Amino acid sequence: MGMQGDFYQLLKEQGYTLGSSGQAGTGHALTNATTILAFKYRDGVLVAGDRRATAGNMVMYDRTDKVLEIDRHSVMAIAGVPATAYEMVRILEHSFKYYRRTQLQELSFDGKLRAVSKLLKENVPAALAGTGAVVPVFAGYDMDQGSAKIYFYDILGAEFEGVEYAVSGSGSPTIRGILHYLNTWGEQPLNALPQEQAMVQALRLLASAAEFDSATGGVNREASLYPVIKLITGAGVQTVLDATLKPLYESQVVRYV
């Protein structure tokens, strides 16, 4: 907690003012229990997330959608407090739609990034109070540049580009190392993977995260519960159906777990 106190002091010195309800350093942990990931594959970007929602060590729900489509070419994967994250996604969805209808054109990809950053910055008091921290991964297809892009954020709204991949959540340390290994020494870099192989890698990564992180849910075949996987290409966002994931999981994941 000593380092945490220094962090809050630094914020004050930089001019951040905490709200009345946002008393920093009260001992509340900033929770982000989940695993979300995004990486570039041959045709675009794959974004995936497990489906477990927890409160402390209690499993609250196992059908949570943590990869949310904002518009036709962008999604936000959420790690953190669901209520705050869902509200952010709703605001972004309406903001992008309002811009499109009033300006008769899509908001630029850079404009979308700024919108996410602004929301996170406005949420700083709640995040520091331990009631509303969100650390998302934003991915989309930049139509102006004709390329897929991935960005991740901290709770203060700073954005960082994931050149090849990005992860967030309590299970992310495990799969960040695996992604680095695969991308550096695998048979081929991640951005060369065909679509089916990319989906298999995503299933294996989330299975690995669930093996080492109790806050990350695995696959429940009896209940037909599989991770949420979305693919983003120039054609738009595509949600991968469970009917597609099931045979891939059974043939190329289960036998190796």
Q: Which of 17, 26, 31, 34 is catalytic?
A: 34
Query: For this structure, is 102 an active site residue?
Result: no
Burial of 124 (0-12, 13-18, 19+ CB in 10 A): buried
Q: Following CA atoms 160, 166, 169, 171 in sequence, which dihedral angle do they give, to the nearest 10 degrees?
A: -150
Give dist(CA 42, CA 47) in Å, integer: 14
Give dist(CA 160, CA 153) in Å, integer: 6
Give dist(CA 27, CA 113) in Å, integer: 31
The count of other CB atoms within 10 Å of the CB of residue 128 is 26
Catalytic residues: 34
